[in-house]
Amino acid sequence: MLWTSIKRVIKAGTVSFYRNGFVSLSSVFIMTITLFVIGGVIFLSVLLSASLEEIKNKVDVNVYFLTSASEEDILALKKVLTKLPEVRSIEYISREQALLNFKKRHERDELTLQALQELPDNPLGAVLNIRAKEPSQYAGIADFLKDEGALSANSAPIIDEVNYYDHKAAIDKLSNIIRSARTLGLALALLLVVASISIAFNTIRLAIYISREEIGVMRLVGASDKYIRGPFVVSGILYGVCAALITLALFYPLTYYLGDATENFFSGLNVFRYYVAHFGEFFLIIAGSGIVFGALSSFLAVRRYLNV
């Protein structure tokens, strides 16, 4: 008996979906826009994260050592720094490599190179290039390096300079920009999603309002509340499924067209390859959102506005 009722509800909802073609088309169109906005917000979030990550990767702190510092002492300090939770990676640049890098940067400056050749020994010390997990964490790393124990080995100083303090203003400004970008991006995403959902909900409510006489007849013949709501919920699910399929289909050519542009502009992130690689996740999010939203909107619209 229960299965029979379920089949009748599904059939009634499907018939209503096809019978009210124009209303269904309008609902699917609005829901497609809603799901497209949700998908667009996901892409924007990914692009924003990639851009912020690229910016963070360009920020680092260099620790310059005295020429008298031994490699053993420097590597011991590197080992200590690696254990700090703020540190993401550390690159050791030996004195010889630092000299080669200096010559490469000044390969067209003959005067500087000649002056360098006149020196009896390599004037450059080794360097540790430190990258933190977040720009705001460089201050903690710098404070650690200021500690007397970190700056010396066997009571002899080994660090010549930490360039964090030279770049502190720029790093602090970058940290503020990253925090503001994340907050603004989240606020904009929520605004777009809420506005789209509100429009779609009103469209579904209007579609149900058109069927108010049908609901009244069902009431007169003694239909239960669940039986009345059922077909509308099924229609809402069909709205969501159709809208999700259209949205997923639209994203394929759109991301393909924008793929090269985003790869060049957003630090190698190709949205087309990202979409294809994460299609399963996109399908679950878009289709799930469409089904849940269509069913929930229909359920609430029938109960609230038609006093069923």
Select the more confidently predicted residue: 167 or 40.
40
Please say if the pLDDT value at position 180 is more than 80: no
Range 34-44 average pLDDT: 83
Please say if the pLDDT value at position 251 is more than 70: yes
Longest Cα–Cα distance in the chain: 105
Write the burial class of residue 154 (CB in 10 Å: 0-12 exposed, 13-18 middle, 19+ buried): exposed
Do 72 and 214 fall into the same domain?
A: no
Q: Which DSSP string do the residues of 208-262 spell out, in sequence order?
A: HHHTHHHHHHHHHTT--HHHHHHHHHHHHHHHHHHHHHHHHHHHHHHHHHHHHHH
Answer for the pair 267, 51: CB distance below 8 angstroms, yes or no.
yes
Return the residue matching tokens 């985003």. Answer: 262
What share of the chain in percent tops pLDDT 90?
A: 4
Residue 140 is assigned to a structural domain of this protein: yes
Do 23 and 94 fall into the same domain?
A: no
Q: What is the pLDDT of residue 216?
A: 65
Q: What is the pLDDT of residue 125?
A: 82
Helix (H, G, I), strand (E, B) or coil at 68: coil
- Which CATH number belongs to the domain containing residue 137 in this structure? 3.30.70.3040
Domain ends where: 108, 131, 157? 157
Helix (H) or strand (E) segment spanning residue 157:
strand 156-157
Answer for the pair 38, 289: CB distance below 8 angstroms, yes or no.
yes
Mean pLDDT of the chain: 77
Do 234 and 298 fall into the same domain?
A: yes
Please say if the pLDDT value at position 245 is more than 90: yes
Do 51 and 179 fall into the same domain?
A: yes
pLDDT tens track for 269-281:
788 888 999 999 9
Do 74 and 189 fall into the same domain?
A: no
Collect all residues with Cβ–Cβ distance below 8 Å to 45 and sequence separation of at least 6.
Answer: 185, 189
The CA angle 86-91-97, to the nearest 5 degrees, is 155
Residue 61 is assigned to a structural domain of this protein: no
Q: What is the pLDDT of residue 225?
A: 63
Do 149 and 184 fall into the same domain?
A: no
User: What is the domain count for the chain?
Assistant: 2
Q: What is the pLDDT of residue 218?
A: 67
Q: What is the pLDDT of residue 217?
A: 67
Residue 104 is assigned to a structural domain of this protein: yes
Q: What is the pLDDT of residue 63?
A: 85
Range 184-189 average pLDDT: 73
pLDDT tens track for 200-229:
677 777 766 766 666 666 666 666 667 667
| Structure confidence at residue 167 as a pLDDT band (50, 70, 90) | low
Residue 163 is assigned to a structural domain of this protein: no
Q: What is the pLDDT of residue 7?
A: 72
pLDDT tens track for 104-159:
877 777 777 676 677 777 788 888 888 888 877 888 888 888 764 555 545 567 88
Do 45 and 193 fall into the same domain?
A: yes
Do 185 and 133 fall into the same domain?
A: no
Do 184 and 285 fall into the same domain?
A: yes
Q: What is the pLDDT of residue 246?
A: 93
Q: What is the pLDDT of residue 283?
A: 92
Give the domain range for residue 208. 2-55+175-305
Q: What is the pLDDT of residue 308?
A: 47
Helices 21-57/225-265 angle, 10° precision: 40
Do 240 and 265 fall into the same domain?
A: yes
Do 192 and 289 fall into the same domain?
A: yes
Helix (H) or strand (E) segment spanning residue 89:
strand 87-93
Instruction: Kindly report which listed range (11-15, 128-132, 146-150, 172-176) carries the lowest average pLDDT score.
Output: 146-150
Do 51 and 76 fall into the same domain?
A: no
Please say if the pLDDT value at position 4 is more than 70: no
Range 254-269 average pLDDT: 78
Number of neighbouring beta carbons within 10 Å of residue 261:
11
